[in-house]
Amino acid sequence: MDVRILQNGPAERTDLHSSIDEAGALGLSADFPNGPDLVSGRPLTSRDYKTLVLAALGGALEFYDFIIFIFFAQAVGQLFFPAEIPDWLRQFQTLSIFAVGYFVRPLGGILIAHFGDLLGRKRMFLIGIVLMTVATLAMGLLPTYREIGALAPTLLLLLRILQGAAVGGEVPGAWVFVAEHVPANRVGFACGTLTAGLTVGILLGSTMATTVNSLFTPAEILAWAWRLPFVFGGALGLGAVCLRRLLHETPVFEEIRKRKALAEELPLKAVLRDHRGAVIVSMLLTWLLSAAIVVVILMTPQLLQKQGVPLTTALKANNVATLSLIAGNIIWGAIIDRIGPGRFFAVGCGLLGVSIWLFYTQSATAPSLLLPLYALTGLFVGIVGGVPYAMVCAFPGRIRFSGVSFSYNVAYAIFGGLTPLFISLLLPSLPLAHLYYLLALCALGSAVGLGLWRAERRKEKKDSLLARVKG
């Protein structure tokens, strides 16, 4: 596995690092803020916590804005497409517009990350949430097909493209932003907290959909109430924009700019030329992340329903699992800070595989175990909160945003988009296809972890040898 060791400092790598590269090892980038206030033992300050809270809050609201569309897809389909077309075609067109948001994520993420590596993290971090807020608010105010005809779905599509571009820069940008603000020994906790915030956005969207459908009749929803979740998201987004203006540029970027060490070429070109190994590992871990979220959190209520579990029971258990996932992201993020990514993924993915196997094999036959096993599985799915830690540490500061954004968005667009289709095709002939798919990816995650663990041990030995030579 050819994954690069990254050196302290902006550009050069020593012969020692080159020899490790040739051995195919991954080290954790030390390209975090240098200085006496950032030694590994420094505790988190009130300013660090403020940054984490504001970033996680913005991430939750932006993810809410991105996914609220799917909760009201049926109403949107009826309002934005001709009434005379078949229902299946109307639903297909609506879901296609929703899917476009995923397909444009890589392009939007690469573009925002490019300027984030050249102009600053904060500026693009702010632009991302502004784009999402404007697009979501505009969706809630759009005229329908009955009012402006074919222009209605066209405008809806354009706004969905804006949403996809915004979230493509938001997620990796937020991980990079918080990672470059906190001390190096709390990067995992910071990334886990931010990932928990994104999960809160999913839960908030589900809660909003449940509330609207409980308070209003189907006729009222079609008449006007469908607009409320979008306007609500837009209004909250405006508040998040104001709060994000209080954040400061990351110390890492300020240091790189001060040293005039910004990328002198297209950042993505440097990523693909010099850090292909880091890209591959980041994409493999993103595959694990996307599968765990899509299958365990998003698809499982329907899978349980097919096994005879009442939908209301499945949704209740799903909410509990999502809450466990939020807690798990933070807990496992703190753990990866202590043990490093190698042991974390080697052991953690094994534990995740065990919990998944127990859940899918026991919950349908033993209804009393559904809730505790789903909650336990959600807790272990929180292991994916360690994925952004590995990604932000795999790229040097001057191209970190571009490296993380490209790896994450391309992998999520491919695997996140194809996973439901792949599993749906296998389910008729293989009822536990989702279980086997997840177990295979847990094995892949453990294999990646073992590779990282060997690389870490190799680096420790070489660093120890170098220290003795210098001594």
Can you tell me the distance from the alpha carbon of 263 to that of 11, in angstroms, rounded to the nearest whole number? 9
Give residue 157's pLDDT band: very low, low, confident or very high (50, 70, 90). Answer: very high
80-138 pLDDT, tens per residue?
999 888 888 888 888 888 888 888 888 888 888 888 777 777 778 788 888 989 999 99
The reported pLDDT for the residue numbered 258 is 72
The reported pLDDT for the residue numbered 23 is 31
38-55 pLDDT, tens per residue?
335 567 778 888 888 888
* Mean pLDDT for the chain overall: 83
The answer to whether domain 1-30+268-471 and domain 46-262 are alike in fold is yes
Class of domain 46-262: mainly alpha
- The token pair at 57 is 């809050």
Does residue 203 register a pLDDT over 50?
Answer: yes
The reported pLDDT for the residue numbered 311 is 75
Instruction: Tell me how crowded residue 91 is: count the other CB atoms within 10 A of its CB.
Output: 15
The reported pLDDT for the residue numbered 322 is 92
- The token pair at 156 is 């809806």
Residue 5 near residue 25 (C-beta atoms within 8 A): yes
Does residue 406 register a pLDDT over 90?
Answer: yes
208-223 pLDDT, tens per residue?
888 888 899 989 999 9
- The token pair at 194 is 């931010």
Question: Residue ranges of the alpha helices (H) in 363-386?
Answer: 370-381
Between the alpha carbon of residue 1 and those of residues 14, 117, 216, 277, 281, the distances in Å are 21, 27, 55, 7, 8
- In the predicted model, what is the mean pLDDT of residues 399-415? 90
Class of domain 1-30+268-471: mainly alpha
Can you tell me the distance from the alpha carbon of 314 to that of 102, in angstroms, rounded to the nearest whole number? 26
Can you give the residue ranges of every domain in the chain? 1-30+268-471, 46-262
The reported pLDDT for the residue numbered 8 is 34
The reported pLDDT for the residue numbered 39 is 35
Between the alpha carbon of residue 290 and those of residues 217, 285, 327, 410, 416, the distances in Å are 35, 9, 18, 11, 5
Does residue 13 register a pLDDT over 60?
Answer: no
255-271 pLDDT, tens per residue?
767 766 566 678 888 88
Does residue 380 register a pLDDT over 90?
Answer: yes
CB neighbours of 341 closer than 8 A, spacing ≥ 6?
28, 386, 389, 390, 393, 449, 452, 456
The reported pLDDT for the residue numbered 44 is 79
Between the alpha carbon of residue 54 and those of residues 51, 60, 113, 125, 268, the distances in Å are 5, 10, 20, 12, 28
446-466 pLDDT, tens per residue?
999 999 988 878 877 776 776
